[in-house]
């Protein structure tokens, strides 16, 4: 197998995936390579279900073994939400700064500072063959918005034991710790061992 399709239109995820696969002899394709501009509705009730909806869709469109990522942040001060609604939650604010300020305020008011990121990666290599890989990283919400790297909630997430938010890390540093790095390393082991 020398081809794999990553079905995601999220530029931040795509960059991380390119770096994680850099040392492996495999060609990675993205939706734009096939001019696929639409996506299936993410109607699943878990990261795993949504990842499977996306990887099956990508496989059916191309017949290339396909993987997809569904991920998000869970925040203690928000009752462990937004979870699978992470994209919709951040998009419901005027901009990401407003969303981050809201989360930081709720965190300070409640004193509940914990948060975690979770990723489910689903790999579909035939119509009815799916394998799931998961990754989770625990941390806290930072007191301030810090860093401009990464995407999504990276500037307010401090992994446990780190002085830098994901937004202050290089891509390599983030991949080393992150939920996505953990899950993708499991997929890489599955593919290449």
**157-159 and 129-141 as β-strands: parallel, antiparallel, unpaired?**
antiparallel
Place of tokens 């290339």: 64
Choose the catalytic residue: 33, 70, 91, 154.
70
Please state the φ and ψ torsions of residue 7, each to the nearest 5 degrees. Answer: -85, 90
Told to check if 70 binds ligand ITT by CB under 6 A, we report yes
Told to check if 55 binds ligand ITT by CB under 6 A, we report no
Told to check if 150 binds ligand ITT by CB under 6 A, we report yes
**129-141 and 3-6 as β-strands: parallel, antiparallel, unpaired?**
unpaired
Told to check if 71 binds ligand ITT by CB under 6 A, we report yes
Told to check if 153 binds ligand ITT by CB under 6 A, we report yes
Residue closer to ligand ITT (CB basis): 138 or 193: 138
Residues 9, 150: Cα–Cα separation, whole Å: 15
Residues 177, 103: Cα–Cα separation, whole Å: 22
Told to check if 168 binds ligand ITT by CB under 6 A, we report no
Instruction: Give the active site residues.
Output: 70
Binding stretches for ligand ITT (CB under 6 A): 8-10, 13, 42, 54, 69-72, 86-87, 90, 117, 150-154, 166, 178, 180
């Amino acid at each position: 197998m020398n081809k794999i399709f990553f079905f995601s239109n999220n530029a931040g995820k795509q960059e991380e995936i390119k770096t994680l696969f850099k040392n492996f002899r495999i060609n990675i394709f993205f939706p734009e390579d096939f001019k696929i501009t639409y996506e299936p509705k993410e109607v699943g009730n878990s990261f795993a279900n949504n990842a499977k909806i996306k990887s099956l869709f990508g496989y059916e469109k191309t017949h290339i073994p396909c993987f997809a990522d569904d991920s998000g942040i869970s925040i203690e001060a928000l009752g462990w939400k937004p979870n699978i609604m992470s994209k919709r939650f951040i998009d419901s604010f005027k901009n990401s700064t407003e969303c981050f300020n809201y989360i930081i305020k709720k965190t300070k008011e409640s004193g509940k500072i914990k948060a975690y990121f979770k990723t489910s990666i689903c790999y579909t290599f035939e119509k009815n063959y799916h394998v799931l890989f998961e990754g989770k990283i625990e941390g806290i919400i930072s007191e301030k918005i810090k860093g401009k790297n990464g995407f999504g909630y990276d500037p307010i997430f401090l992994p446990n034991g780190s002085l830098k938010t994901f937004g202050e890390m290089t891509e390599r540093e983030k991949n080393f710790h992150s939920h996505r790095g953990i899950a993708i390393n499991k997929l890489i082991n599955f593919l290449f061992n």
